């Protein structure tokens, strides 16, 4: 019998998850269906419980329901507890198991797909919303040394305080970043959705259209004064367009640029593994989505 899975959000019609999971299922020869289901803003719990009672095996959860999913779960993984948000539900008898695969997806994309090892690296994490909470613990577990900056400063300090028992992390305002440099700068804000840019300190522009991969000497970088260290990776969790953050990072001399498409596919693969105990090959799926 075909096993049923779904992603729930509001809105949800834009979701690439059905496409991704259909490719995973084909590749691993799993007999399953996966559909996108909208839930009314006040109807997440009912939508999930109806699906479960109809025999659905698991659900991905996206904006704005990740916190409600966290509350609905009867068992939580360590990373879901840390994130205080759930993007994957698995039904097991009467239990609703909640997990958060966003952080594992980000780390897999950065380390395996982009070949950037996080151990000992200075990481600037911008944002203190659901996405930042989801990735903080996996980044710390990978050995990153994190500075978290947020527009509403207090939230950056709260996030850092919550995770400080797990590794090196501290909060900052954007202005206080002046003079600091980072090996990896991650945009976990929703600024790109509004075509805007977090208020990062601006160094002297290198060249508006320097190609990704171009590099500058350590002295040159220090003189320019931006937040990007030599060989820095600039990562925007948003995908599907060249964002203001990635344009800014290129201008400021970041050596490498990446969007969040790889993270999207990797977090899906982690959910798939939780449900089916099989790890799909993500590379061909990422490559295919890049063409769409
Ligand atoms: P939230 O609404 O929970 O948080 C938004 C955060 O962005 C807050 O910290 C907010 O700051 C900050 N922010 C919003 N606008 C600006 C701005 N103009 N300048 C500076 N900071 C700003 O959103 P999420 O954390 O859930 O999502 C963030 C992003 O991550 C989204 O773009 C989402 O699509 C992406 N994402 C991608 C995934 C992937 O698989 N690729 C997975 C999950 C998320 P303040 O506190 O001051 O309001």
3-state secondary structure of 289: helix
β-strand 122-126 against 228-236: which pairing, if any?
Answer: unpaired
CA distance readout (Å), 215 to 207, 238, 265: 12, 24, 29
Domain check: are 150 and 53 in the same one? no
Q: Whose CA is nearest to atom 2 of ligand 1?
A: 129
Whether residues 120 and 164 share a domain: the answer is yes
Indicate the number of domains in the chain. 2
On whether residue 290 sits in a domain, the answer given is: no
Please indicate, yes or no, whether residues 78 and 214 belong to a single structural domain of this protein.
Answer: no
The pLDDT of residue 217: 61
The CATH number covering residue 135 comes to 3.40.50.720
d(CA 81, CA 11): 25
With the most atoms of ligand 1 within 8 angstroms of its CB, the residue from 67, 128, 129, 194 to mutate is 129
Tell me which of 100, 124, 159 is where a domain ends.
100
The neighbour count for residue 42, using CB atoms within 10 Å, is: 7
Q: Would you call 30 exposed, middle or buried from its count of C-beta atoms within 10 A (0-12, 13-18, 19+)?
A: middle
What is the CA(60)–ligand 1 centre distance, in A? 19
The reported pLDDT for the residue numbered 166 is 95
Predicted local confidence at residue 222, as pLDDT: 53
17 is in which domain, residue-wise?
3-100
Vertex 192: Cα angle to 189 and 193 (nearest 5): 100
Task: Tell me: do 74 and 218 sit in the same domain.
Answer: no
Which CATH number goes with the domain that contains 62? 3.40.50.10860
pLDDT at 220: 62
In a domain, 137, yes or no: yes
Place of tokens 């002297």: 204
Q: Which SS3 state, helix, strand or coil, does residue 224 take?
A: helix
**Same domain membership, residue 178 and residue 158:** yes
- Quote the pLDDT of residue 221: 58
Q: Identify whether 18 is part of a domain.
A: yes
Atom of ligand 1 nearest to the CA of 267: 40
**127 and 78 inside one domain:** no
Query: Which residue owns the Cα nearest ligand 1 atom 41?
Result: 260
Judge contact between 40 and 285, C-beta under 8 A: no
Query: In this structure, are 57 and 160 located in the same domain?
Result: no
Is 196 contained in some domain? yes
Task: Spell out the residues 6+ positions from residue 154 whose beta carbon is closer than 8 angstroms to its own.
Answer: none
Sign for the CA dihedral angle at 50, 51, 56, 62 comes to: negative
Question: What does the radius of gyration of the chain's CA atoms come to, in whole angstroms?
Answer: 19
User: Are residues 91 and 177 both part of a single domain?
Assistant: no
Question: Residue 206: what pLDDT?
Answer: 57
Query: Measured in angstroms, how far is the CA atom of residue 159 from the centroid of ligand 1?
Result: 14
For atom 1 of ligand 1, the residue with the nearest CA is 129
Ligand 1: centre distance to CA 96 (Å): 27
Note the pLDDT of residue 211.
46
pLDDT of residue 190: 92
CA of 4 from ligand 1 middle (Å) equals: 30
Same domain, 112 and 245: yes
Dist. CA 191 → ligand 1 center (Å): 6
Q: Which of 100, 128, 162 is at the close of a domain?
A: 100
For the annotated catalytic residues, the residue numbers are 66
- Are residues 9 and 92 both part of a single domain? yes
pLDDT of residue 1: 86
Distance CA 154, CA 158 (A): 6
Whether 190 and 229 map to the same domain: the answer is yes
Answer whether residue 115 is part of any domain.
yes
Q: Are residues 182 and 244 in the same domain?
A: yes
Q: Rounded to an integer, what distance in angstroms lies between the CA atom of residue 272 and that of residue 4? A: 12
Tell me whether residue 279 is in a domain.
Answer: no
- Give the whole-angstrom CA distance, residue 290 versus residue 292: 6
Q: Within a domain: residue 256?
A: yes
List the chain pLDDT tens, one digit each, 292 residues. Answer: 899 999 999 999 999 999 999 999 999 999 999 999 999 999 999 999 999 999 999 999 999 999 999 999 999 999 999 999 999 999 999 999 999 999 999 999 999 999 999 999 999 999 999 899 999 999 999 999 999 999 999 999 999 999 999 999 999 999 999 999 999 999 999 999 899 999 999 887 655 444 444 555 656 655 565 999 989 999 999 998 899 999 999 999 999 999 999 999 999 999 999 999 999 999 999 999 999 8
Q: Is 67 within a domain?
A: yes
The protein residue whose alpha carbon is closest to atom 18 in ligand 1 is 191
Ligand 1 pocket at CB < 6 A: 63, 102, 105, 127-132, 150-152, 155, 188-194, 196, 198, 237-239, 260, 263-264, 267
């Amino acid at each position: 019998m075909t096993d049923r899975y779904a992603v729930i959000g509001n809105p949800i019609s834009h979701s690439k998850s059905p496409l991704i999971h259909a490719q995973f299922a084909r590749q691993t020869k799993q007999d399953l269906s996966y559909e996108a289901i909208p839930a009314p803003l006040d109807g997440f719990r009912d939508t999930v419980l109806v699906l479960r009672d109809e025999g659905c095996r698991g659900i991905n959860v996206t904006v704005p329901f990740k916190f409600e999913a966290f509350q609905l779960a009867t068992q939580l993984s360590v990373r879901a507890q840390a994130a205080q948000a759930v993007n994957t539900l698995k039904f097991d008898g009467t239990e609703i198991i909640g997990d958060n695969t966003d952080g594992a997806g980000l780390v897999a994309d950065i380390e395996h797909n982009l070949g950037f090892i996080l151990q000992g690296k200075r990481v600037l994490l911008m944002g203190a919303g659901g996405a930042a909470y989801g990735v903080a613990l996996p980044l710390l577990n990978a050995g990153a040394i994190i500075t978290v900056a947020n527009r509403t400063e207090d939230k950056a300090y709260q996030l850092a305080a919550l995770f400080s028992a797990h590794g090196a992390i501290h909060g900052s305002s954007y202005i206080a970043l002046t003079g600091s440099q980072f090996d990896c700068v991650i945009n976990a804000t929703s600024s790109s959705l509004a075509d805007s840019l977090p208020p990062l300190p601006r160094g002297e522009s290198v060249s508006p259209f320097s190609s990704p991969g171009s590099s500058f000497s350590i002295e040159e970088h220090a003189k320019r004064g931006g937040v990007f260290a030599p060989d820095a990776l600039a990562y925007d969790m948003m995908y599907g367009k060249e964002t203001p953050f990635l344009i800014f990072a290129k201008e400021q001399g970041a050596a490498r640029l990446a969007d969040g498409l790889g993270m999207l596919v990797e977090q899906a693969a982690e959910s798939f593994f939780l449900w089916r105990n099989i790890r799909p090959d993500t590379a061909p799926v990422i490559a295919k989505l890049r063409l769409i």
